[in-house]
Structure 1
Amino acid sequence: MSEKQPYVKQTIENEVGYIEFFHPAHNSLPGELLSKLAQTITEAGENDDIKVIVLKSGGDRTFCAGASFNELININDEATGKVFFSGFANVINAMRKCPKFIIGRIQGKTVGGGVGLAASTDYCMATKFASIKLSELNIGIGPFVVGPAIERKMGLSAMSQIAIDANSFYSAEWAKNKGLFTNVFETTEDLDEAVKTTAEHLCTYNPEAMLEMKKVFWKGTEEWDELLSKRAQTSGRLVLSEFTKEKLKGFK
């Protein structure tokens, strides 16, 4: 598989399902990749050969740069906008409904929708290079779709801080203090070792107990299918505003 081609792939090792996504543009996620990612997570949840899931991205720098800018620039009507922003909603909901624990492996910077993915894992580990940013307000929209996932994990105060301060990267240590990351490691090698050890140890637990715990963790999110769909509609409308159209021209 060429490292230059976008992909979503799954490998199984010692009952751990490793789901990896990659895109040459800093692991940004266009609609097609988001759709495949949601489907792969759902299928892994139904696969009896997998007891625990690890979500990771390819490459050694950026974990995820968020939504695909090229697709964002080409949105010309509200219906297309809603479909575009529903991509991340579908992945978050797939992670929420997945009956297995999902461990996040965050090796580097993560922006926008990528922060939403990290926040939707059940146990998230990172390197010291994994700073986070919510940049959506910069272009006249907001982190509406990923906001509930980030607020659930980090609290409204932390979510609102990074949503308003849309120009700044916040350190991995800050994200750990706010509850997004459980551990922050010096190197990717240390991170990978810890992810593998943790995932394989979880495989020795009772799957039924883990399923019941997962339900407890996600209690109160039962309406998210509808909520995130509404949020996607809001973003789809705002992305068509004159303000955003002008801003996006500057990025072309």
Structure 2
Amino acid sequence: MSYQTLEVFAEGPVAQVWINRPDLRNAFNETVIAELTRAFTELGTNDEVRAIVLGGRGKVFCAGADLNWMKAMAGYTREQNRADALGLATMLKVMHDCPKPTIARIHGPCFAGGMGLAAVCDFAFAAQSAEFCLSEVKLGLIPATIGPYVVQAMGARAAQRYFLSAEKFSAAEAYRIGFIHEICPDEELDDTIDALLGLLVDNSPNAVRAAKRLVHDLTDAPLTDALIADTAERIADIRASDEGREGVKSFLEKRKPSWIIPDPTPDES
């Protein structure tokens, strides 16, 4: 599928999604929102894809909303603003619920809605030079649609500070508050992500999908009898699945499970 604002590559088990608006600091508008929704929907249902990396071309991960888009919104009615915001909220939910593991590749500024993109990914890896900001209140706005994901990623106490102050903070601070998983030198960012991808693609695709859903469902869930029963059902289902049986069997037989993708045959010419 062709895209106006994205570059999407799905070769082998890893898909790469690049926001490709470097001259506009990879800021998003209604087209970017629609295309990210479509890309993550399609990649999420592609059986060949086992992991997705989201990045930004140029020197910026994502600077938030496009200024021209914001100018247009200034003339919207409340109902038009609501419909527009629902499009962004839908995109974030689609990305958050994508059944494949997702990795945010963060370099340079990650501001406002860009922090929402990072927060909906399962992993957030950042270069040391990355910087972060929830700048909405400076413009008389609030980070509402991205809020549930950002608060979950950094915690309520940190969110109180950065939602209200709109101050910039470093990759080191983002790591300290738990918003990102790992920091590395800029030149090592891709190698660090590749190492994680090597782990992800060797795991059972069905188990990874079920484990991701399990984390979502257990987050803030009360410890009830119904929840305990549900977890028992889940482990019973996965044990009885084809991949569950194959995983245990291959472990006992001391061989690689069938879902492991063999290394390409080396060129002997």
TM-score under structure 1 length normalisation: 0.81
* Residue in 2 that maps onto 1:179: 178
Structure 2 distance, partners of 1:88, 1:65, is 15
The aligned counterpart of 2:54 is 55
C-alpha deviation, 1:87, in angstroms:
3.5
SS at match of 2:104: strand
The answer to whether structure 1 residue 133 and structure 2 residue 133 are counterparts is yes
**What is the deviation of 1:92?**
1.2
Aligned to 2:230: none
1:91-127 CA distances to partner (integer Å, 9 max, x unpaired)? 2111122111101100111111100110111011000
Shift of 1:58: 0.9
Match in the other structure for 2:250: none
Quick one: distance in 2 between partners of 1:13 and 1:158? Answer: 38
Q: Which residue of 2 aligns with 1:153?
A: 153
Give distance in 2, aligned partners of 1:126 and 1:118. 10
- Paired residue for 1:99? 99
TM-superposed CA distance for 1:14, in Å, is: 3.7
| Superposition deviation, residue 216 in structure 1 | 2.1
The letter of the residue matching 1:194 is: T
Q: 1:11 aligns with which of 9, 12, 23?
A: 9
Contact 2:12 2:48 in 1 (8 A): no
Deviation at 1:71, TM superposition (A): 1.3
Counterpart contact for 1:29–1:68, Cα < 8 Å:
yes
Shift of 1:201: 2.2
| Preserved CA contact (<8 Å) 2:5 2:31 | no
User: Which whole-Å deviations, capped at 9, do the CAs of 1:182-223 have from their partners, x for residues lacking one?
Assistant: 111111x300111122113210100111111111222268xx
Unaligned runs of 5+ in 2: 220-269
State how 1:180-219 maps to structure 2 within 5 Å: 180-187=179-186, 189-219=187-217
Q: How many aligned residue pairs are there?
A: 215
Q: Relative contact order (alpha carbons < 8 A, sep ≥ 6): 1 or 2 greater?
A: 1
Q: Is the 8 A contact 1:6 1:21 kept in 2?
A: no
- Aligned residues of 1:42 and 1:98 also touching (Cα < 8 A): yes
Q: Distance in 1 between matches of 2:20 and 2:160?
A: 29
Q: Aligned residues: percent identity?
A: 29
Whichever of the two has the greater Rg, that structure is 2
TM-score norm. by structure 2 comes to: 0.76
Give the aligned partner of residue 43 of structure 1.
Answer: 42
Could you tell me which amino acid in structure 2 is paired with residue 181 of structure 1?
A: I
Deviation, 1:165, is 0.7
Distance 1:71 1:182 in 2: 31
Matched position secondary structure for 1:126: strand
Cα distance between partner residues in 1 of 2:133 and 2:68 = 19
Aligned residues: CA RMSD:
1.8
Q: Structure 2: how far apart are the matches of 1:102 and 1:70?
A: 29
1:242 match: none
Q: Counterpart of 1:34? A: 33
Q: Where in structure 1 do 4 or more consecutive aligned residues deviate above 6 Å?
A: none
In structure 2, do the counterparts of structure 1 residues 158 and 39 end up closer, same or farther at CA, with 3 Å as the change threshold? same
Alignment check: 8 A CA contact 1:131 1:172 kept: yes
The 8 Å contact of residues 15 and 200 in structure 1, kept in 2 or not, is answered as no
Unaligned runs of 5+ in 1: 222-252
**Deviation at residue 159 of structure 1 after TM alignment:** 1.2
Letter in 2 for 1:46: T
